[in-house]
Amino acid sequence: MPVSTLRVPNIEAQIVLACAAPAPGRSVVSLLAQFADDLDWDRLIRYATTHGFEVQLDRQLRRAERAGVAVTISADRRKELQARVAGRTIRNVEQTRELLALLDALTAEGFDAIPFKGPLLADRLYGDVALRGFSDLDLLVRRNDFQSVRDLLRRRGYDDPHDLRGRALRVFLRTRMGYELIDRHTGIIVEIHWAFINRVHAFRLEPTDVWARAVMRPFAGREVLSMSAEDLLLYLCAHGSKSFWTRAAWIADVAGLVARETALDWDAVLKRAHVLHGERMLLTGLRLARDLFDVELPTRVDTRIDADDASRMLAQRVASWLWNPPRGPDERGKVQFHLQMRERWRDRLPYYGHLVRNAILSRVSGKHYRALAP
């Protein structure tokens, strides 16, 4: 495997990454034993909770204790970690039950839906819905079904904070990619998608193609429609790039998918990335997964990554802010990062248009508009 050029700043970060690695190299238990007296537990738990690995850390601490390792965490900090783990596990189970109920309701009324991210992704990548945090349920539906699906959720007790109709709804459907509704009883958020990444990012993974390549996968004792592994990998890399890869969990998702989907069609992945002009997003995500989580890639993919200077530079920028507050670039840096993720000037034009539009709106209204699209 190529030597990593990404710096991991301290032993606490190394332990957190080792906890989440799909195929751990150095044992977390041995790391805990070796550095027991030197660990900064506040930093370790902060890293784990910030990046979404608190369940993994808790399980490794239990494993270390069973192995007779003296875990020197204070009783208060341990209780705090366990409370976080219990809370997340309960939320994930509740949301999984709601997802299954929604899929049943949609099927009963003749609508197809592809759940992505959320509990289905946790089960697919980690084999356990507790091992990945998620804040909402994301469902891809066909654009023509959107209003009917929205009405179904309203009947099931979901509030619609947007309540868009007529021309406003048509504009929203044309320019955005998701619509949130909130269960008034549980607070669960469902985002209905008809597309994936906001068009200002010029990443056009076409929903019609995703539907055509979708596959049935086992989940919670049933078969559920899911994205193909190749499309999911492209989406995860585009999503992480759009969000500056500020959570190591997003990188772990890429590593987990590559590790578990051993039949990945790499020729198809590379070809689609080229067609979508998203090679830089793909190579950056794969470089981060390889160098931080020791995931093994085919030789030709490693060679492609190592020959790409742009993805090296972008991955190093991610590594520089991954462990330090505020875990991301400033406003100017965000704009630069988004623009540098694009390979062609013509693909940057929609983003430039977005910046100009927001600048005009800010000047006219006196309000500050974010430099970034959702």
Three-state SS sequence of 125-165: HHCCHHHCCCCCEEEECCHHHHHHHHHHHHHCCEECCCCCC
Name residues whose C-beta falls within 8 Å of residue 312's C-beta, 6 or more positions apart in sequence.
5, 287
- Give mean pLDDT, residues 58-65: 94
Q: How far is CA 208 from CA 114, 146, 175, 195, 243, in A?
A: 12, 15, 17, 9, 24
Separation between Cα atoms, residue 100 and residue 301, nearest integer Å:
37
Separation between Cα atoms, residue 342 and residue 346, nearest integer Å:
9
Read off the tokens for 154: 């309203």
Q: How confident is the model at residue 181 (pLDDT cuts 50, 70, 90)?
A: very high
Separation between Cα atoms, residue 252 and residue 21, nearest integer Å:
7
Residue 364 backbone dihedrals phi, psi, to 5 degrees: -75, -45
The pLDDT score that the predictor gives to residue 218 is 96
Residue 137 backbone dihedrals phi, psi, to 5 degrees: -115, 125
Report all structural domains of the chain as residue ranges with CATH numbers, in order of start.
Answer: 89-198+215-225 (3.30.460.40), 344-374 (no CATH)
With a cut of 70, say whether residue 116 has pLDDT above it.
Answer: yes
Please report where in the chains the tokens 């080229």 appear, as a residue.
274
Separation between Cα atoms, residue 148 and residue 47, nearest integer Å:
42
- Contact between 92 and 122 under an 8 Å Cβ cutoff? The reply is yes
With a cut of 80, say whether residue 371 has pLDDT above it.
Answer: no
- Contact between 111 and 140 under an 8 Å Cβ cutoff? The reply is no
- Using only C-alpha atoms, the chain has a radius of gyration, in whole angstroms, of 21
Separation between Cα atoms, residue 307 and residue 279, nearest integer Å:
12
Full-model pTM: 0.93
Higher pLDDT, 341 or 364: 341
- Average pLDDT of the residues of the chain: 92
Name residues whose C-beta falls within 8 Å of residue 41's C-beta, 6 or more positions apart in sequence.
72, 73, 74, 77
The pLDDT score that the predictor gives to residue 366 is 60
Separation between Cα atoms, residue 349 and residue 362, nearest integer Å:
20
Read off the tokens for 56: 């993994």
Residue 277: HSE in the Cβ half-sphere, 13 Å Cα cutoff: 14
Q: What is the pLDDT of residues 130-154, one digit of tens each?
A: 999 999 999 999 999 999 999 999 9
With a cut of 50, say whether residue 37 has pLDDT above it.
Answer: yes
